[in-house]
Structure 1
Amino acid sequence: MNELKLSKRLETVADYIPEGAFFADIGSDHAYLPCYSILQGRASGAIAGEITDGPYESARSQVKKCELSESIFVRKGDGLSVLRNDDQVDCITIAGMGGTLISKILEEGSGKLTNVTRLILQPNIHAISIRLWLVDNGWKLIAEEIIEEDHKIYEVLVAEKGDPKEPYQAHSYEASLLLGPFLAAKRSDIFMKKWTGELNHLKSIIKQLEQAGHTIESSEKYQELIKQVKLIEEVL
């Protein structure tokens, strides 16, 4: 049963799971990531957490199918509430959600992070929410990846305990928060594609507001858009 194939997105997450880790995959869906990581000999064991019945059952049947019921514990619950004090989880993965939701899960479950040494987070949107949370909570970004799969662009953020401000040296702090300090330094083709597209999108909204002779109410939104354009242009 070693032929389990992951999406490029989840494979990128799997690449950052420390060798021999016992990790928790929150919002595990079909438990593909835990199954794959153990079958590949990377992780020693895992907890697959799911909040809804359907994905919880899918995860259970996938684990059973892979004959990994001894190594993967599928639990139903909200966010990090699936973790118990004696679990000794050293790594947490959360993939395929919005950045705001991922930050909320980390915030609400922050008491469960005491012994965790690494976070691997893959937001579909709003990665800035995660970067802000990491800075506020003493987690230092150690790596970022940006990938494209099926015409969608994803970011993967990896953090460990440390000086959270350290990676944010090259560009202004605000620009690095928005675009990602490691990603901004690399400026890969996918990164340039994403932010050039975002820049054009923002500029077209600004143009529409200007043509509409934007009112005082929209003025705050207008200023925010102008600021974002400047931050993106600073890096590009």
Structure 2
Amino acid sequence: MSRTINLSRRLTNVASFIPKGARFADIGSDHAYLPCYVCLHDEEAEGIAGEVNEGPFQSAQDTVNRYDLSNRVDVRLGDGLDVIENGEIDLVVVAGMGGSLIKTILDEGQARLSRVKRIVVQPNIDEPGLRYWLQWHGYTITDEGMVEENGHIYEIIAADKDSTGQELTERQLLFGPIILNQRPDPFYRKWRREYVKRRRIIDQMTQAAEPDHDKIGTFKRELAWIEEVLHDDNDHSQY
């Protein structure tokens, strides 16, 4: 029996944000690949794989059994954070969903987050909204990353519970406070694309019968920030 799992590049990067010895839950686990991968590489880790639908739940159980991890990875059927009890884990992962859905899962499961020290999220869209949610609920963003896979660029956000709180600027919410400082290669590729998208959106909104000037102003402000960060890239050929 193989003792390794070939995770996608995206999930391998998500796994790197889970510290050694973590007791964690992976919500919407999709075959339980992530918790099994983490537990195979960390003998002290214990995971919960949460699934809301019967089919993926059964697939997750099959993966856990295949790697003989039933004593360390518990597969549970339930909606969002309903699969965990308050106090039994110290880290939650929610990856591979839209930012709005992730916020809903966190909102509806707040009662079960009181002792969770770290939240790791990998949204497919709406990273700024998630950053705002995290800081508003007493989490400080302590690590971030970007990964490119199959033509898509994903952002990973890790936030730790912090009584001192965090207040990010709108610019930091948009780009990510740590990503903005590190600016890995995918950063410039993403924001060149986003620059083109925002220009197109502004043109379309401006031509509307009743333009929403507030929204246009927001997009123009973001466009100026994007121009600023792209000027720091040495390659302006696609800008």
CA-to-aligned-CA distance 1:64-119 (integer Å, 9 cap, x gap): 1111111111111111000124x620111111001111111111111111221111
CA-to-aligned-CA distance 1:7-58 (integer Å, 9 cap, x gap): 1111111111111111100000100011111111265211100011111111
Q: Which runs of 5+ in 2 are unaligned?
A: 231-239
1:226 aligns with 2:227: no
CA-to-aligned-CA distance 1:142-184 (integer Å, 9 cap, x gap): 0100110111100000010124426x4xxxx111101111111
Say whether the 8 Å CA contact 2:27–2:49 is kept in structure 1: yes
Question: 1: distance between equivalents of 2:38 and 2:131?
Answer: 26
Q: Give 1:26's aligned residue.
A: 27
Question: 2: distance between equivalents of 1:16 and 1:225?
Answer: 32
Shift of the alpha carbon at 1:230?
2.5
Q: Which runs of 5+ in 1 are unaligned?
A: none
Q: Give 1:205's aligned residue.
A: 201
1:5 aligns with 2:6: yes
Over 3 Å counting, the alpha-carbon distance change for 1:22 and 1:193 in structure 2 is same
Q: Give 1:147's aligned residue.
A: 147
Say whether the 8 Å CA contact 1:2–1:40 is kept in structure 2: no
Q: Give 1:116's aligned residue.
A: 116
Q: Give 1:67's aligned residue.
A: 68
Question: 2: distance between equivalents of 1:15 and 1:222?
Answer: 38
The 3-state SS of whatever aligns with 1:120 is strand
1:216 aligns with 2:210: yes
Question: 2: distance between equivalents of 1:207 and 1:179?
Answer: 23
Say whether the 8 Å CA contact 1:16–1:158 is kept in structure 2: yes
Q: Give 1:195's aligned residue.
A: 191
CA-to-aligned-CA distance 1:165-206 (integer Å, 9 cap, x gap): 26x4xxxx1111011111111122210110111011111222
Which residue type is aligned with residue 226 of structure 1? K
Q: Give 2:95's aligned residue.
A: 95
What is the TM-score normalised by the length of structure 2? Answer: 0.89
Over 3 Å counting, the alpha-carbon distance change for 1:43 and 1:36 in structure 2 is farther
Answer with 215-224 or 105-114: which moved more: 215-224
Shift of the alpha carbon at 1:215?
2.6
Question: 2: distance between equivalents of 1:230 and 1:48?
Answer: 42
Over 3 Å counting, the alpha-carbon distance change for 1:122 and 1:43 in structure 2 is farther
